[in-house]
Structure 1
Amino acid sequence: MTLALADNGAMLAVRFLLELTSLVCFAIWAWRVVPNPWRWIAVVLVPVVIGWAWGSFTVPHDPSRSGASDYHTPGPLRLLLELAVFFGAVAALYHARLRRAARGLLVVMVLYQVLAYDRIGWLLSH
């Protein structure tokens, strides 16, 4: 099965922006929740660790990636990672008391997942 909608350039750009937005949300959470002097470390470390996991645990031959992978990951496990990062960013905003932003991001994340239904199907089948 080839990805149709989720693999087009516009959706890949949206996905990339959502990935960056998620990392920023985790940094905001760290800044607002972690006390000084640890917040400076957490603001850098939390997004770096999440970004590392995002880039390292990939499905071989994923059409949305270069194909390189540090750790070959089954599709359903990768889907769980993606949902944890995307919706974890929503939870991070909510926990950081940015509830209106969290609700807005939740709408965007759900809409993206609905439009990327073919990617979800691809991940579940690999």
Structure 2
Amino acid sequence: MGNAWWNLTLRFLLELSALLGLGMAGWSFPAEFWRWILALALPLVAAVLWGTFAVLNDPSRSGRAPVPVPGAVRLVLELIILFGGAIGFCLAGHAVAGIVMALLIALSYAFSLDRLGWLLRQ
């Protein structure tokens, strides 16, 4: 399951961008009190979910899975968080960034078909 270095780098940057997009979506909430809560909570919850629910022996990660889940569940979680970040950029008024991010997510997964197949077999 060898991913090219550029795709692994892109995936890492997309993960960070998703957290930023979720935080920006929270910050765009109109109520001042909730703005602070959501801007901090959305990326924090996403990061905890990302790090906690994993497929056992996933070679694209450490192989460890604090809470093992089937591959399809992990894939859905990844897609929700990544595209959630892209949507977050759009909600925060940065539609171009959100669209570019969504296209880069699709590109990354298009070049990760071996990993997608592996996840769906788990």
Give the TM-score normalised by structure 2: 0.91
Aligned to 1:39: 35
Match of 1:29 among 25, 40, 50: 25
What per-residue deviation string (whole Å, max 9, x for no partner) do you get for residues 53-84 of structure 1?
00000000000111222210000110111111
Q: Which moved more, 1:86-95 or 1:21-30?
A: 86-95
- Over the matched positions of the two proteins, sequence identity in percent amounts to 35
Moved over 4 A (4+): none
What CA RMSD, in Å, does the superposition of the two structures yield over aligned residues? 1.4
Query: Per chain length, whose mean CA-contact separation is higher, i.e. which structure has more relative contact order (CA < 8 Å, sep 6+)?
Result: 1
Give the TM-score normalised by structure 1: 0.89
Given that residues 19 and 86 in structure 1 are in contact (C-alpha distance below 8 angstroms), is that contact kept between their aligned partners in structure 2?
Answer: yes
| Stretches of structure 1 lacking an aligned partner (at least 5 in a row) | none
Superposition pairs of residues 41-120 of structure 1, within 5 angstroms: 41-120=37-116
Given that residues 53 and 66 in structure 2 are in contact (C-alpha distance below 8 angstroms), is that contact kept between their aligned partners in structure 1?
Answer: yes
Match of 1:14 among 5, 10, 21: 10
Q: Number of matched residues?
A: 122
| Stretches of structure 2 lacking an aligned partner (at least 5 in a row) | none
Aligned to 1:4: 2
C-alpha distance in 1 between matches for 2:97 and 2:119: 29
Given that residues 34 and 42 in structure 1 are in contact (C-alpha distance below 8 angstroms), is that contact kept between their aligned partners in structure 2?
Answer: no
